[in-house]
Amino acid sequence: MARIESSSLPNGLPLHRVELPTRSTTILVAFDAGARTERPEENGMAHFLEHLVFKGGQKYDDYRKVNQTAETMGAVLNAYTSHDLVAFHITCRAEVAAEAIDLLTDFVGRPKIDAEELDRERGVVIQEIARSNDQPSVIAEHLIDRAAFGDHPLGRPVLGPEEHLRDTFTRDGILAFRRRQWVGSRGGAFIVGNVDHLPEDNELAELFGRFPSISANGGSEPAPPFAPTTLVEQRESAQSHLRMSYRPSIDPRAPAERAALAVYSTLLGGSMGSRLFDEIREQRGLAYSVYALDHSFADVPILQLSAGLESGKCVEAFTRMREIVDELRTEGPSEEEVERARAYAAGRRVLAFENTNAVARHAAQQTVVFGQDIDPDKAIEALDAVTYEQVVEVGRGISEQLSVACVGPHDQAEFS
């Protein structure tokens, strides 16, 4: 069982300690400052800022000191930006947790954002965007976001467009975005794993106090109404990348309903025993990759089906995948399917939570996005508690309409 202690630091940043019986410790700091919080002209700024802080802070004042200090303590240092949030994390052996906190809070809490490094990093992120645009599967992900959410921030790519990196982003604009969105009350610090070697409380407060105390003056737009759209990027290729996006009718802020959606998406396409994998791949041989996944933003849930397949089989696969969702809506799953999917979803969560970084990421999502309980054991219990009736209800509530995105030698009429 995890032992959890939560407190609020003087700068408004919540601090959560999640004690687990491990030899490692993960320290993660997250803010409600993902791509969803960007204004149109800022698209890509949250991710670019994530890159820039790694160039150094006050104590570790260049990228070499940051990287080499982490390596010297045998730690793994990284970050991620999603539509939901931005997070920075370091995982280390427990004995060097104090040094890891010192490093992370220095360059993330008080970064230099050097103008020369900013210009140099533009080219790196432009290359990252170019690499993404060379991958049809990534293009399909961008298309389905736009098809599902239009010009809303949830419909824009996290990396943003190349022209923003080249022409728009200034140091002043980036600092203004940080002041607006990196707010303690809309973030959290998480220490997960072995907590036997942490500094005293007053030293912890001083280290995490490197994040400035800022009043909340930003936010994000509410999710738009569902307006199903089909988008196709035509490419003369032998392979196609298909994405289908539905809106479930669950309340995304209800943990039990999110758990039921997770079990539903598992039996639909989350395992080798799922309906999509069994029929689309094994029985019909229509796709080499086919799966379903669910995600809940703060105010809207999504169910996405994905396939990578031979172009000549794309429309047949699309038709049958849509029929499978319709069948689950009208006929429901079998009790055996639900039982197997529930066990698989919960077991997969148990295995994931053997990793302190996974627990820290879960805790950040829970508290920063939803403002809810971060206990990993309760997340597993929620999946174990899902009933057959709840999964049937989820299936009935999946929208009949859907957004579609495809990259390949097709046109929109094929997916009507």
113-126 pLDDT, tens digit per residue, is 999 999 999 999 99
pLDDT tens-place string over residues 172-209: 999 999 999 999 999 999 999 999 999 999 999 999 99
pLDDT value of position 91? 98
Distance separating alpha carbons of residues 333 and 344, to the nearest angstrom: 16
pLDDT: is 217 or 275 the higher one? 275
Residues 3-208, CATH architecture? 2-Layer Sandwich (3.30)
Which residues sit opposite 232 in a β-bridge?
A: 406
8 A C-beta contact, residue 33 and residue 88: no
In 2-132, DSSP assigns E strands to 3-8, 14-19, 24-31, 76-81, 86-93
Residues 177 and 413: their CA atoms lie apart, in Å, by: 41
pLDDT at 214: 82
Domain 230-415 in CATH 3.40.50.300: no
Average pLDDT over residues 4-10: 96
| pLDDT value, residue 4 | 98
Give percent of the chain with pLDDT exceeding 70.
100
The whole-number average pLDDT for the span 21-25 is 98
The mean pLDDT value for 45-73 works out to 98
The 10s digit of each residue's pLDDT in 258-270 is: 999 999 999 999 9
**What is the average pLDDT across 361-374?**
97
The reply to whether 3-208 and 230-415 are identical in fold is yes
What residue spans define the domains of the chain? 3-208, 230-415
Q: Report whether pLDDT(138) > 90.
A: yes
* Strand 403-408 relative to strand 230-234, pairing: parallel
Model confidence at 215, in pLDDT bands (50, 70, 90)? confident
Angle between helical axes of 255-269 and 376-384 (0-180°, round to 10): 60
Give residue-wise pLDDT tens across range 157-177.
Answer: 999 999 999 999 999 999 999
The pLDDT of residue 144 is above 90: yes
pLDDT range class, residue 84, cuts 50, 70, 90: very high
Q: Going by DSSP bridges, is the β-strand pair 187-193/24-31 parallel, antiparallel, or unpaired?
A: antiparallel
Average pLDDT over residues 386-390: 98
Segment 230-252 shows an average pLDDT of: 97
- What are the tokens at 239? 């392979």
User: What would the mean pLDDT of 69-92 be, rounded to a whole number?
Assistant: 98
Q: How confident is the model at residue 228 (pLDDT cuts 50, 70, 90)?
A: very high
Give the pair of three-digit tokens for residue 266.
Answer: 């598992």
